[in-house]
Amino acid sequence: MSEHLSENNMSFDEDSIYLRRFYLLINCCDHPLVIIDENGRIKEFNIIFQQIVAQSEVLHDLRGQSIFKYLDDATSNEIKKVLRHRSMVGNFRFDGSLIIGERKVDYKFRVSYYCDESGTIRELMIILEPVSGINNIGPEPFIRYLGEVLLPYVTLTSQIIGANKKVIYSVNWDDLPPLLKQEFKADKRICCSLFRKSGRTSECICDKVLREGRTYIEEVCIENGSDQIWVALAVMPIMSEDKSVYGLLVTLDNISEQRKLAKSVEEYIEVIQKNLVDCQLVPTLIRRLREPISYILSGVNFLLEEGNTTNPLILARIKKKCEECREIFNQIGGFLGEFSEAFIKVEVDALVRSMVLPVFSESDDKKVVFRFSASPVYISCVPYQFAQALIAIIDNSLRYASKEVLVSLVPEGKELIITVEDDGKGVPEEIRKQIFTPFFTPERESGRIGLGLSLAKTVIESLGGHISVGQSKSGGANFTIRLPALEVVSIGEVRKEGGSFNILVIEDDEDLADLLKSSLQKEGYNVYVSRDCEKAKEIITTTPISFIILDLLFPEGPTGLSFYEEITQKERFSEDRILVITGDSLSPFTKIFLKSIKSPYLEKPFDLDSIKSLIARVVERE
């Protein structure tokens, strides 16, 4: 702004403090302002008025011109009326119109006489207040105002780009890194130049901002031999009152030094990540082993009760060993539980920038691009565990990508949506079904053990979240993470009236579910089995269920936690008629849930006698 004033407005002695203050004051006014003499000729004006009436890119000096050439007839008559009554004091207000080319723009005129230090009335000051906000002046003058008044105060390399994608203003070009300064032109879009220079194949974010009207921030790496230039690129929409985008503000910040600092701690982060895998491996293995141990223990009890075995001693020994395994699991779980509850509130963008992004800062021939949210999003998690989960997913995508992996973090309502997309060949349907299964990998010969995605899924579910895999727009893989839990779907009224004592077993492990069914049917109960919560809802709405045995975690669909809340809310199903079974007692969310409910619960592995006695107590009460 100071450069513009020295060329157009500052026709005074620089030593005059009074005049300096005068010009500073009129240019501090955030509305168009003009001062005229007794004949209606323009004496002084601020830059906003000059931009509005200018009809070209060049801003001309307006001094000496008649104000009436810019006013319609009605407004001119009002101004002349005020000029004829020079003895009047105070403010005059009226509605009028400014003529800008062939357009007539309505304003509220505020007119008052300007007096010198002696009190002698000299000139008339006119302030124009837009009828419907600053955008009433139209997009072109408003963009000029941003570019010539506000943009010089921005300390970063910046551009204003019109809706036609042409560069209108560029500032601080000398602050670019030498390599970029030599190759990039100030009249070309810097965002698109960066994308081409970095080898990016996806659309530039300026296209997305123009289309969606949202702010996007990305970090871009430019290779320069053995060196790297890192820049943070922000593209923000300039919007009208009707929410249409008629321009973009683009800023660029050189963050290479921050990257070098981050590089110095990468080795430390890698060590921590290795330790995290080791720590997460133990509870995951315990959780997976609880299922088969439960089946073996329950099977042994079933056979001993049947009394048709010729080797009861062997079965008794198997039972004893299973019980020893259960005790080991409980002891390890008690130890690890102290660490699993170290949840803190974290800002996701900051966590990803500090713990995930540095890991992929030097990928050889493939790029990992992070697209962050414009506003902060917070989640509750164990930071290192969440970072390790995200790293595992990105690393998997990077392994199969052709050139690029795009990581986006977008808030959507009360959820945070994280997508990891690659431009590879995608995941075949038959592999998608197993991709989160522990120890599954299509590359067994490569030495991979297939735990990365399984561990990531465990961590995400421990946060109450969900992860799925699909196909990206480019045909590659698309991993979608949703945090926190999904919305609960209501179900019909639960029927509990009349009938026999019906038990519903909701368990995804087919062997364990069948064993529970066989054992409870032997006791004379009617037993219904469901492998997921959706089917269980159908059974409840059509069958008078007396007792429910509910597992908490399922590979797909609603969890047992959400199902429990549905059937017990508004007292539709009594909590003392539900037995919760789980092999995920190390999860902080599971621990909190179990402490908050009135229902009994058993940790896997369990024995059948415990379940039978709980059901028997309910039957006795009836």
Reported as a single tens digit per residue, the pLDDT across 104-157 is 888 889 888 876 656 565 788 898 887 754 444 445 666 776 777 777 778 888
pLDDT tier at 589 (50, 70, 90 boundaries)? confident
The secondary structure of 495-509 as a DSSP string is: P--SSS-EEEEE-S-
Do residues 543 and 528 touch, judged by C-beta distance below 8 A? yes
Do residues 130 and 100 touch, judged by C-beta distance below 8 A? no
Mean pLDDT of 192-217: 85
Residue 29 has pLDDT above 90, yes or no: no
Predicted pLDDT of residue 519: 85
pLDDT tier at 342 (50, 70, 90 boundaries)? low
Distance CA 407, CA 59 (A): 45
Does the 2-140 domain belong in CATH 3.90.550.10? no
Residue 540 has pLDDT above 70, yes or no: yes
pLDDT tier at 1 (50, 70, 90 boundaries)? very low
Name which residue leads in pLDDT, 270 or 251.
251
- Average per-residue pLDDT for the chain: 76
Question: Could you give the strand order of the β-sheet that contains 415-422, starting from the edge strand earlier in sequence?
Answer: 167-171, 157-162, 245-254, 227-239, 216-224, 367-372, 404-412, 415-422, 477-483, 466-471
Most confident of 80-84, 275-279, 416-420: 416-420
Whether the CA torsion 293, 295, 300, 305 is positive or negative: it is positive
Mean pLDDT of 235-242: 83
Q: How many CA atoms lie within 13 A of 490 on its CB side?
A: 5
Domains 154-259 and 344-483 share a fold: no
Do residues 58 and 43 touch, judged by C-beta distance below 8 A? no
Predicted pLDDT of residue 330: 66
Predicted pLDDT of residue 292: 75
**Residue 268 CB burial class (10 angstroms; 0-12, 13-18, ≥19):** exposed
pLDDT tier at 86 (50, 70, 90 boundaries)? low
The pair of structure tokens assigned to 554 is: 């399922």
pLDDT tier at 359 (50, 70, 90 boundaries)? confident
Strand (E) or helix (H) holding 231: strand 227-239
Mean pLDDT of 341-352: 73
pLDDT tier at 91 (50, 70, 90 boundaries)? confident
Model confidence pLDDT, tens digit, residues 173-191: 888 888 888 888 888 888 8
Most confident of 38-47, 175-184, 305-314, 449-458: 38-47
Class of domain 344-483: alpha beta
Residue 497 has pLDDT above 70, yes or no: no
Question: 259 vs 223, 241, 268, CA distance in Å?
Answer: 13, 39, 15
Do residues 386 and 377 touch, judged by C-beta distance below 8 A? no
Adjacent-strand bridge partners of 95: 108
Predicted pLDDT of residue 74: 92
pLDDT tier at 66 (50, 70, 90 boundaries)? very high
Do residues 158 and 186 touch, judged by C-beta distance below 8 A? no
pLDDT tier at 388 (50, 70, 90 boundaries)? confident
The residues spanned by each domain of the chain are: 2-140, 154-259, 344-483, 502-621
Q: Which residue has the tokens 């296209």?
A: 207
Do residues 128 and 98 touch, judged by C-beta distance below 8 A? yes
Distance CA 390, CA 460 (A): 9
The CATH fold of domain 154-259 = Beta-Lactamase (3.30.450)
Distance CA 86, CA 98 (A): 23
Residue 313 has pLDDT above 70, yes or no: yes
Four-way CATH pick for 502-621: 1.10.3730.10, 3.40.50.2300, 3.40.50.10710, 3.40.50.1100 = 3.40.50.2300
Model confidence pLDDT, tens digit, residues 526-535: 899 998 888 8
Residue 68 has pLDDT above 90, yes or no: yes
Predicted pLDDT of residue 486: 37
Distance CA 369, CA 209 (A): 17
The pair of structure tokens assigned to 18 is: 């009074």
Predicted pLDDT of residue 308: 59
- How many of the other CB atoms lie within 10 Å of CB of 21? 10
